[in-house]
Structure 1
Amino acid sequence: MAFNNRIFNFGAGPATLPLSVMQEVESEFLNYQSSGMSIVEMSHRNPLFEEIISTARSRAKKLLGLGQDYELLFLQGGARHQFAMVPTNFGNHDRVIDVIDSGVWTKFAHQEISRLKLMPHLVASTESTKYQSLPKYRPEDLDPKASYIHFCSNNTVVGTQWKEFLKLKGVRSVVDMSSDIFSRVLDFAQFDLIYAGAQKNIGPAGTTLVAIKKDWVDQGRKDIPEIFQYSAHIKHDSMYNTPCCFSIYVCGLVLKWIEDRGGLAGLESENTRKAKLLYSYLDQSSFYRSAVHLPDRSIMNVVFRIGDGHEALESKFVSEAEAAGYSGLKGHRLVGGLRASIYNAQSYEAVKSLTEFMDNFYERHKLEL
């Protein structure tokens, strides 16, 4: 059992948050900044909230290394909404949208593009091998006249993660970073639009961070409902409609926590250390197995099986883990198996404790495999 009767939460999202942030939220929940009311009761037009969202926006841009040529928004609807909102704004019936299919989330994005009667161009996919590696493609496979190219940087379902992004100069690029944003040092300015649901590495569910190049915003369609226009949300400072105030407030605290941990460089070092510990344990085991192509492994979501997929033992593993205080280890419903999500707020000590539980489970059940 973790500190203060809290379990170790390895769920893929909503996910564990920094304990110090949770304690700060608790301490000022009923009376925020001596206002006499909670943040969940406060108007989004209140100067106190305006300061919260402004500070969160500035911190996010600074951590991502984005300049004045980017706008940063806090929207709603999650990544699924962005699957449709991006092509609605920037799709063109005369030009394809290049999609690199590395998993279920890019597949869903592809489907939304099709529903809009646009032209998704599937550049490469590893669906035939259950997405256990990232797709390989060449610059000549991309369309130089594409409206944009779409990536998902980290696949939570099967545990793969892009380290580099092959694009064509002059073609806009979009990346879904819902599960690994703020987890590592990266040239974020290589993308024209970044979006990320908050509920994994930024804060609680309810808000979606969107960073977008200003010069692309101006090219967005104006013949669609305003609520779907990025320009409308920018004009109204992410308050075109009432924002998810509480989620944005917590996001701001988490971003401050990231700064205090040494920024993205500090977190990347810690995340790499956690992932190395867990993968090293899996690789030396004859009981547990990671099927993910080694160079493509995610440092956020570690997906593994018992044997070649012994479902009875895996079910027993999940049940015994829950009883021992390790939550969220069941694999995604689409693929089964087991998964440990080790996002920014997950501690090294939690991962080490998990490997000790795994070893104990192995000793007790090895003859059943």
Structure 2
Amino acid sequence: MNIKKILCGVLAGLLLCMGTPGNVLEAQGKSTVSNLFSNGTETKPELNSQPVVTFRYSNGKIYKRYTVSNGKLKLPSMANKKGCTFMGWSKVKGRTANPAYESGDTITVKSNMNLYAVEFRRSAEPNLSGKNIQMPRKYSRVIFVGDSRTYAMGKVVSEKFGKNAFPDVYFVAKTGSTLDWLESTGESNLMNILASGNGKTAVIFNHGVNDLNHNWSNVNVKSLANTYTSYMKKLGRTLQKKNCDLYYMSVNPLNSGTSARLGRHDPQEIRQFNQRLCRQLGGMYQFIDTYFYLRKNGYGTARWLDRQNEDDGLHYTYKTYKRIFSYCMKSINSLNVSGDYVSKKF
């Protein structure tokens, strides 16, 4: 064995141990990440070897490569590039939204595959005006209840559309909140608003992302969804007696490759949580599937409202918050929503 081969082997070992900052690498079973380069050129998988999945940036350059030994692979995430949002993976190069696969998905691999990053360019995102968003005709009030993402949306509606643009829309929200806050504080705040009038009210809940944070505790999605279901049904019975229509907005997407410093989320668990709530809340609530809408059309993330040039992969840009608000208002404005605006029974 010559010195050149020894150095290549040592370098490959160091790369595997060190990893790449900001990237989330996940594989099931004995799937491994193979060496990508030899003498500065891309190496090709050997014939008759185990299948290899090559993950590529949107421009075609290699990001990572996995050798799949057990036929299954859990797809990794990728940190957002400046001005872009990583959406997922596609077999087609150059897609900007609506990926074929999302990070956290587990796929069956029988032969070599190339998957390209789907990256949404935030410069292409529309900047909605409040003049094009109407208060739902059948409601005298709309109340949003949620965590930091709901709180930020309320700030955007007030600051960007104007404080008097939607005087009958209320936000009950707290940053970092979980179901415990909703039970102990959020519910009473909601009831105080309802006590101020008797008109027909739409209540839209958007809670759960903080309960799915692995930094705080281990997450059992089934148990968490059951706990939410039990509480939401109990609360729902009270709200229906107060002339309320009930909606649950999906826990919306994030980029685990960028948001790792704020908490460890498994994107697949978010989807599973949404699906379980969708099945378990019965006919009491309607589901506003903003997750699907954002996945299909793209979205932007930012560290916070006053830090739009920084990215945390978890909170959204002004433009995205406007679009989520508009989507919800259009959804609840129709009994039978069709097309892009999806509001369906659980």
Structure number with larger C-alpha Rg: 2
TM-score bucket of the superposed structures, by smaller chain:
0.3 to 0.5
Normalization by structure 2: what TM-score?
Answer: 0.34
Higher helix share: 1
Normalization by structure 1: what TM-score?
Answer: 0.32
Q: RCO (CA 8 Å, sep 6+): is it higher in 1 or 2?
A: 1
